[in-house]
Structure 1
Amino acid sequence: MESTDKKSLSSKKKKRRIIGYTFLIIFILLLAIGGILYYQLQPAQHFKAAPVVTPGNTSASNSTADENKLSDSVLNILLIGSDQRKDEKIGHSDSMIIVHVDLKKKEYHTLSIPRDTRVYLEGFGYTKLTSVQYIMQATKGQKEGVQAAVETVGNLTGIPINYYVETNYWGFKSMVDAIGDVEVNVPFDVTLTHPWYKENKNKVIRAGTHTFDGKMVSELVHERYSLKNGEFGRQQLQQAALVGIAKSALNPNNITHLPSLVNSISDFLIATNMTTSDIVSLGLAVKDLDINSIHYHQLHGENKKMYDDVLQANNDQFILDPQDIEEVAAKYFIN
């Protein structure tokens, strides 16, 4: 079991990354808008005409080869966490999570795609998944970069993607601040070795329940170097933060914070193909979200020193297990 867990972890990098659970941003956003503004867009009807950004694996026996659409009221949304800084137009895809939404069953499955996964980029050769968006934005444009990242994930996993949503670190912090302070049950002691803010260097957060603002939640879910289980431990912290944020957003006493959240949408949405009506309708679908209906999945593989055609040098890359990808995709993300 230990060796399997190790294989599922991407190689450690000495750079700051956006948090892995950007998935929660879209759901909190949807809760806010759907709960405040609209009631007429019924999800079951609205999403019958959902677009397909990338078709995924058309040869799979459980996909629809002619139109390549999922079942009615079933969607796949790709959440992208970018390291794009303020006033910059390009960035790396540091966090990529596919969210499978079944509106009828009210079930949600999430799948993290390791940022260092080895992929092939047409015209450039083999490189890391995190570099695809950056390369294409630098050479083709901001929108083309996002689209290339989405297409690469679809081709890699064989999962059809209907929508994509991109945010960054600053967007995550803004979202949490708009909701208000949240309670997070920290599962183990955490030392902030690589904080976003220098005043938090080596600060220790003890195991237990804490009340955090957006700044400290962002610091918590960013840490991994001091954790015994590294990336796996950080995912535990992110899950704990997700639960705390979702509970806070769903708390009736926090209804006064929702207008602030709505007004800050532009602060944490960098790019998306979702229309306002899409967001509103999905908001209606998740307004009674049960935390226990969210299921998290990981992909397995191994780290290898591989030649990167873009960098023209060897570096650590994560090689996914093709059979594992196919099994997880077919069971949880293709209907």
Structure 2
Amino acid sequence: MANRVSTKKRKWPKVLGIILLALFIGAGAYAYSIYTSLTKAVDTMHQPIDREKSDKRDEEVVLEKKVPFSILMLGVDEREGDRGRSDTMIVLTVNPNLNSVKMLSIPRDTRTEIIGNGTTDKINHAYAFGGVEMSLDTVENLLDIPIDYYMQINMEGFSDIVDTVGGVTVQNDLDFTYEGVHFPEGEVTLNGERALKYSRMRYEDPRGDFGRQQRQRQIIQAVIKKGASLSSLTKYDEVFEALGNNVKTNLVFSEMVDIQKNYKEAAKNMEQLTVSGTGTKIDSIYYLVLSDEEKQRIQTELKNHLELQ
């Protein structure tokens, strides 16, 4: 059965990573200048997608009406000359009526049908085959729920964001060395380069991809906490520029404001979900295979949370 970790142990600040931007708007004398930089960054971050309305939702989501919604977070490792793969895939369902958020991490090796490509493969390959659109369609098919929004974070450039906030401190629960850098167990302070290496290691971790996902969430959480602090306001231009260069989303500014206004209480009650599967080699390639019962369990839980049942 999937493990569930309460928000008290692994707290995800606010509802979405990008909502930290809205925290800067009311910052006293800085307000107008910050607002200008914020809207510029949001314009850069905004990337609409060419995708038909999901057939898994009857009506369009209207955030002003406090409708439960979902978002897919993609941590993409894009390098020069390589489109990359979405090594981190996290689905958030947000219900303002229950004031709760459910966060599901999908292992990168999950074997599933790649919608639009006519193949069955690792789910993280959907991004390499068809970008955000194919990733959204594939996740929708696997979970049998509508995915309303997406947020893509370029992990290669994420080091820039870490550096602009002056580095981050995380609590490391595994002593390991990766690409020549030693990360001792306990409190670790990281600059951008070290944070990127810290978030990439998985083969030395007995938890495999689950451990790496946890470290990536640690880095993102630490950046948001540091970026939202008053001391960071002195260089908000750099923070917003780094976000604009490395985060893409189909959310527009008005929707971000609606989420901050109507959904922020939900973030105080967050439950993390994981899926259980069987590691299997097919044609010498490793996959995580989910049983029909496990898929049904996750689908039902997320549908209920989105009030689709």
TM-score normalised to structure 2 length? 0.73
- 2:272 match: secondary structure: strand
Deviation at 1:218, TM superposition (A): 1.8
The whole-number CA distance in structure 2 between the counterparts of 1:53 and 1:35 is 34
Secondary structure at the residue paired with 1:228? coil
Aligned pair partner of 1:278 in 247, 255, 258? 255
Residues 125 and 189 from structure 1, CA distance in 2 versus in 1: closer, same or farther, beyond 3 angstroms?
closer
Residue equivalent to 2:21: 32
Matching residue of 1:208 = 186
Q: Does the alignment pair 1:75 with 2:69?
A: yes
1:147 Cα deviation after fit: 0.8
Residue 47 of structure 2 is matched in structure 1 by none
Are 2:241 and 1:247 aligned?
A: no
Identical pairs, percent: 26
Q: Which amino acid aligns with 2:111?
A: R
Structure 2 SS opposite 1:323: helix
Distance 1:87 1:231, change over 3 A: closer
Q: Structure 1 residues 255 and 205 mapped into 2: Cα distance closer, same or farther (>3 Å)?
A: same
Deviations 1:80-123 (A, max 9, x none): 122221365x3322221112233465533211112222222345
**2:6 is matched with which residue?**
none
| Aligned-residue CA RMSD (Å) | 3.6
How far apart, CA to CA, are the structure 2 residues paired with 1:324 and 1:289? 23
Q: Name the residue aligned to 1:264.
A: 242
User: Per-residue deviation at 1:28?
Assistant: 4.3
Secondary structure (helix, strand or coil) at the match of 2:174 reads coil
Cα contact 1:120–1:126 (8 A) shared by 2: yes
What letter matches 2:59 in structure 1?
E
Name the counterpart of 2:80.
Answer: 86
- Say if 2:291 is the partner of 1:297: no
Cα 1:174–1:101 change in 2 (3 A) is farther
What aligned pairs does 1:129-148 form with structure 2 within 5 A after superposition? 129-136=123-130, 145-148=131-134
| Structure 1 partner of 2:141 | 155
Superposed CA deviations along residues 308-327 of structure 1, whole A, max 9, x for unmatched, are xxxxx552222223233224
How far residue 302 of structure 1 moved from its aligned partner, in angstroms, is: 1.2
TM-score, length basis structure 1: 0.68
C-alpha separation in 2, matches of 1:333 and 1:190: 39
Aligned in 2, Cα 1:249/1:147: closer, same or farther, shift over 3 Å? same
The SS at the match of 1:29 is: helix
Residue number in structure 2 paired with 1:111: 104
Q: Once the 2 structures are TM-superposed, how far is the Cα of residue 211 of structure 1 from its aligned partner?
A: 2.1
Contact 1:28 1:249 (8 Å CA) reproduced = no
Are the structure 2 counterparts of residues 281 and 69 from structure 1 closer, same or farther at C-alpha, using a change threshold of 3 Å? Answer: closer
The alignment partner of 1:86 has SS state of coil
1:319 counterpart residue number: 289
Q: How many residues align?
A: 275
Rounded Cα–Cα distance in structure 1 between residues aligned with 2:258 and 2:80: 30
Does the 8 Å CA contact 1:83/1:169 hold for their aligned counterparts? yes
Indicate if the aligned counterparts of 1:183 and 1:245 stay in contact, CA closer than 8 A.
no
Which whole-Å CA distance do the structure 1 matches of 2:302 and 2:265 have between them? 26
With over 3 angstroms needed to count, the CA separation of the structure-2 counterparts of 1:243 and 1:130, relative to structure 1, is: closer
Q: Distance in 2 between matches of 1:289 and 1:218?
A: 30
Q: 1:264 aligns to what SS in structure 2?
A: helix
Matched AA of 1:160: P
Q: Is the 8 A contact 2:110 2:289 kept in 1?
A: yes
Matches of 1:107 and 1:227, distance apart in 2: 31
User: 2:183 and 2:302 mapped to 1: Cα distance?
Assistant: 37
Q: How far off is 1:258 after superposition?
A: 2.6
For residue 190 of structure 2, what is the amino acid of its counterpart?
A: F
